[in-house]
A and B are shown apart, each in its own frame.
Chain A
Amino acid sequence: KQEVTQIPAALSVPEGENLVLNCSFTDSAIYNLQWFRQDPGKGLTSLLLIQSSQREQTSGRLNASLDKSSGRSTLYIAASQPGDSATYLCAVSNYGGSQGNLIFGKGTKLSVKP
């Protein structure tokens, strides 16, 4: 059974700092991995999607890497801003899963202080 773990559960940094969020998964037979952002009481915003054949994806100040063999992904945020404060969720989609079932981690709650 696939399990997704995110470390740390919460993170507080000063504005301008670079930071890394970690995600690990137990079953390496994934189809893709996605990083999402969730603001309090809101839905999910997709940030980056990495296919299993890819090693990384970049969008603006965000860079996500994937090491499928070790079951790990990292989300790198450069030059953090207060507007980046949110909960960041990692999710994987398994081969042979329930038609694209996404398995989520519990998230990392990020707070960027001005």
Chain B
Amino acid sequence: GAVVSQHPSRVICKSGTSVKIECRSLDFQATTMFWYRQFPKQSLMLMATSNEGSKATYEQGVEKDKFLINHASLTLSTLTVTSAHPEDSSFYICSASRVRSFYEQFFGPGTRLTVL
């Protein structure tokens, strides 16, 4: 149990386009989902925390108008990178925590974004 999927696994886009990444908890209900970003040879950095049905909480330095997060249901959260630029190229990973296991997070396989 506690499986999290992400789609797509890899995306290449032109500068200026918007990209949507989906994160799904497949076999459990996730009250909270987290979005992380990982640059090469760096650690994961939390971008934002989203709770079902409410606005996401963004970490300092993360532009909320550029990284739109929607958590419309207990099993789905989406991250949209708007007007992507080459510096947004990174590995984006989501995680989800279960209703009764708040602090244990289960991670998705990640999405590799390359902006040309």
Instruction: Identify the A interface with B (CB < 8 A).
Output: 4, 31-32, 34, 36, 41-46, 49, 89, 91, 93, 98-107
Contacts and interface: CB of A to CB of B under 8 A. Distances in A.
B43 A100 contact: no
Given A45-B107, A98-B59, 10 more contacts: A32-B104, A43-B107, A43-B108, A98-B57, A100-B32, A101-B49, A102-B46, A102-B105, A103-B46, A104-B43
Interface residues of B, number: 27
B102 A100 contact: yes
Contacts, number: 65
A107 B91 CA distance: 16
Nearest to B46: A101
Given A41-B112, A43-B6, A104-B44, A99 B107 contact: no
Contact of B43 (A32, A101, A107): A107
